[in-house]
Amino acid sequence: MSVYNAEVCGFCRKPVALSEPAIEALNRTYHDGCFQCRSCHVPLAGKQYYNKAGIPLCEDCYQASLELCWACGEAITDHVIRALERAYHLSCFTCTTCKQQIGEQAFAQGEVGEVYCLQDYYRKYAPMCNACKQLIIPKEDGTDSYNVECLGRSYHENCYRCEVCVIQLSPEPNEHGCYPLDGRMLCKSCHLSLASGQL
Ligand SMILES: [Zn+2]
Ligand SMILES: [Zn+2]
Ligand SMILES: [Zn+2]
Ligand SMILES: [Zn+2]
Ligand SMILES: [Zn+2]
Ligand SMILES: [Zn+2]
């Protein structure tokens, strides 16, 4: 039998004569002795082996090659979610509050590294507007997200208004900014009027 009909060994690249004992694995043919763990070189003929990107590995080396899930500590054998420089099982990368899988969606990190879906993150961490009592959440188009802080309270940019004449106040410390008086948010002219007893 001609050697040219023979397959090439997937490991040593030499022909595998049809008369030789050979192993078919991972879409390749190997000499009996060449089918070994690519990491520790233990012979794998007749043993359980694992396919790691086309490379045969013994069970121990395969387990050792797996990343561990940051949440449950178990090896990840299927799809790896990478986030926060950690690896997670798809089923373990979940929102701390609602337990929903986050997958590839946007998420945010809490104070101690816990993970939230954006909705729950904002519910927990977003400041509440002192005027309209709604959370101050960045909109996807970036509008009306500006959080103005005044007198230790937070306001939507659009809710940051004089309590008397309701004119919108500037977040900048200028002529059109807030001139508080006795804990009230006022524009400059209402401040002056109140301070002089005209209102
Ligand atoms: Zn070989
Ligand atoms: Zn091995
Ligand atoms: Zn896990
Ligand atoms: Zn959630
Ligand atoms: Zn508001
Ligand atoms: Zn005013």
Instruction: Output the CA 20–ligand 1 centroid distance in Å.
Output: 11
- Report the half-sphere exposure of 167 (CA within 13 A, side-chain side): 14
CATH label of the domain that carries residue 59: 2.10.110.10
Instruction: Output the CA 101–ligand 4 centroid distance in Å.
Output: 9
Domain count, the chain: 3
Instruction: Output the CA 48–ligand 1 centroid distance in Å.
Output: 19
Q: Long-range contacts of range 30-37, CB-CB < 8 Å, 24 or more positions apart?
A: 34/9, 34/10, 35/10, 35/11, 36/11, 37/61
Alpha carbon dihedral 76, 81, 83, 86, in 10-degree steps, equals: 10
Give domain status of residue 70, yes or no.
Answer: no
Give domain status of residue 75, yes or no.
Answer: no
Instruction: Output the CA 177–ligand 6 centroid distance in Å.
Output: 10
Instruction: Give the model's pLDDT for residue 4.
Output: 53
Instruction: Output the CA 21–ligand 2 centroid distance in Å.
Output: 22
Same-domain pairing of 47 and 90: no
Ranges in the chain, pLDDT < 70:
1-6, 140-145, 198-199
Instruction: Give the model's pLDDT for residue 34.
Output: 93
Nearest ligand for residue 37 CA: 2
The answer to whether the beta carbons of residues 152 and 170 sit under 8 Å apart is no
Nearest ligand for residue 95 CA: 4
Give domain status of residue 150, yes or no.
Answer: yes
Give domain status of residue 71, yes or no.
Answer: no
Nearest ligand for residue 23 CA: 1
pLDDT digits (tens, 9 = 90+) for 132-148: 999 988 776 655 567 88
Same-domain pairing of 140 and 120: no
Give domain status of residue 155, yes or no.
Answer: yes
Which residue segment(s) compose the domain that 19 sits in? 3-65
Same-domain pairing of 169 and 108: no
Nearest ligand for residue 41 CA: 2
Enclosing H/E stretch for 50: strand 50-52
Residues 167 and 177: their CA atoms lie apart, in Å, by 10
